[in-house]
Amino acid sequence: MASHLITITELPVKPNLTKHAAAAWLAHHEASPVAGRILYQGLEDSTLMELAPLADLGALPDLRADWLKLWHTVGPMAEGDFRRQLLHFVEAPKPVAEPLPTTPYLQLRHVEVPPPVYFAYRSWREETIFDVVRNADQVEEFLAYHSVFSSEPGVMFLSGFSCEPSEYGQVFSSPRYQEIVRQAGDRYITGGERGLYTRLYTRLTSA
């Protein structure tokens, strides 16, 4: 079952040091008492991204101490600072058996939705976005989270898949889904369609 709380940590690293930074991050995980984390590498840039499950907010102090070690280990290879979010689980159109996604690829899909239209958006996405996802074989896992603390507040979908990214992308490039995006931009998303972003990653942590 999906973790009720997760953290997302993203770090842009120097392109020529991506492999070294990933190896250092994975070695950090191996040596750390904080368990259950997964490291990913961006498919569209040199970003590394970590998902971490939290049993409760009481786990944050240990994770914070671990982040400080990571800052010294991987930080020297970065092009920017660590970007972190704390998210809480909302629902799972395609659930997972484990605390975090298990597929070799993952896409983060984010929108910022103003509170006055949030519950209308929840009803709308059940009949539109989630209907597409539930009927798409390419999408194996799909989890909906919402920000607790974040510099990019809002809705975050974790979409897991195993097929080639180009095949997976067909799900969200169809005419029907493009109409869904247009509707969301008109009705629910802060800043219109510009308030939507997606990022693709490949899993580095062994399953």
CA angle, residues 141, 144, 146, in degrees to nearest 5: 150
Mean predicted confidence (pLDDT) in 163-172 = 96
Query: CA-CA distance, 23 to 28, in Å (whole number)?
Result: 9
> pLDDT tens, 27-64?
999 999 888 999 999 999 999 999 999 999 998 888 89
Two tokens, residue 186: 């008109």
Mean predicted confidence (pLDDT) in 14-27 = 97
Amino acid at 103: T
pLDDT category at 194 given cuts 50, 70, 90 is: low
Query: CA-CA distance, 164 to 161, in Å (whole number)?
Result: 8
Q: Which domains does the chain have, with CATH numbers?
A: 5-85 (3.30.70.100), 89-203 (3.30.70.100)
pLDDT at 195 exceeding the cut of 90: no
Read off φ and ψ for residue 12, nearest 5 degrees: -75, 125
Mean predicted confidence (pLDDT) in 154-183 = 95
pTM of the model: 0.94
> pLDDT tens, 97-141?
999 999 999 999 999 999 999 999 999 999 999 999 999 999 999
What number of CA atoms fall less than 13 Å from residue 173's CA on the CB side? 7
**Residue matched to tokens 């368990």:** 35
Mean predicted confidence (pLDDT) in 160-175 = 96
pLDDT at 193: 62
